[in-house]
Amino acid sequence: MFYAGVLIEKGGGQVVIKEGDIVGRKSYGCDIYFKVMAIYAAEDGHTYARLKGLDLRLEATSRLDDLCKIDPVAVNQYWLKVMRTTHDKMRHVFQRRQAEKQGCLLRAVKNGEEVESFDLPGTVLHVDGDKDYLEMCLTAYKQLHLTCYGYHIAEEKQAGEIYNLLVIHRPDILVVTGHDGLIKNASNYSDINSYHNSRHFVAAVQEARRYEKSRDDLVIFAGACQSHYEAILAAGANFASSPKRVLIHAYDPVFVVEKVAFTSIYDPIALKDVIASTITGFDGIGGLETRGKYRLGLPKSLY
């Protein structure tokens, strides 16, 4: 049974925390903002809330008395900061694309010859365990002029759906993500059973490799917050999270994909460039040498 929870503050006042509220965890200094997904009474007699990070791919459970309701002004300021970071990343993306396209043109035409070109970047299949994050990513793909087919599928069901979706869409790039994290009190980071969903991401990647073995023909990003990076790469992914078992940003898969989709098929992608293009960076994202999926077209049709 789910219901709104009531916290009694020191001054005697009441603060009602309900589903949809934005909160922080006092024991962590409210360092991450969460959305309350559900509130429930547990067998230990305490009331708990199930939480989801606003922009980090993190799910958590917390006792209600450890939560602090975040003021709407602070929430707005938080989102403004996220938007500024994302805007800066996208601005650098378009600047980089323009410079790289000039290099492709020089390779394709005679010196001084003016020919109008067109772009054919790689296409994307994005399978996400979180509906809200999927919608955020689909908006970002659209802003980045990428064709993406998006599906909201729970992590434990992704492996059963991946193969058919690949047959239907035949993408150049696959993203398999959602939520993950280390199970409470887990100490063996090498054990796949220490993670909430890493085994599901591994199974989904293995199914994708049953469809296409080559890491050049199908580029795969897989994982979420604190995922078992080594196991996901071993299963066949090109890029994965999380090398240092840190939290990753909801948009990190998007920026990895963009770099792959708009790098020429003639060029290997410098790992430092693709990972530097993400919000989390090397602590959260890593991978293997991979070739790009972008093709330059000449000439552009008048019709």
Instruction: Give the pLDDT score at 115.
Output: 72
Instruction: Give the pLDDT score at 82.
Output: 83
Tell me the residue ranges of DSSP E strands in the chain.
5-8, 14-17, 22-25, 34-41, 47-53, 59-63, 67-69, 118-120, 124-128, 148-152, 173-177, 219-222, 239-240, 268-269, 286-287, 290-291, 295-297
Query: What sign has the CA pseudo-torsion 139, 144, 150, 152?
Result: negative
Asked if 243 and 260 touch (Cβ cutoff 8 Å), the reply is no
Asked if 55 and 47 touch (Cβ cutoff 8 Å), the reply is no
Instruction: Give the pLDDT score at 302.
Output: 82
Give residue 113's identity as a one-letter amino acid code. E
Per-residue pLDDT of the chain (303 residues; tens, 9 = 90+): 344 454 544 444 567 899 999 999 999 898 889 999 999 998 888 899 999 888 888 888 899 999 999 999 999 998 888 888 888 888 888 888 877 777 766 666 666 567 777 889 999 999 999 999 999 999 999 999 999 999 999 999 999 999 999 999 999 999 999 999 898 888 899 999 999 999 999 999 999 999 999 999 999 999 999 999 999 999 999 999 999 999 999 999 999 999 999 998 988 888 888 888 888 899 999 999 999 999 988 888 888
Instruction: Give the pLDDT score at 171.
Output: 98
Q: What backbone phi and psi angles, to 5 degrees, belong to 129?
A: -80, -5
Domains (ranges, CATH) in the chain? 5-70 (2.30.30.140), 89-297 (3.40.50.280)
Query: What sign has the CA pseudo-torsion 249, 253, 259, 262?
Result: negative
Supply 128's token pair.
Answer: 């996400």
pTM tops 0.75: yes
Asked if 20 and 4 touch (Cβ cutoff 8 Å), the reply is no
| CA atoms of 286 and 289, how far apart (whole Å) | 10
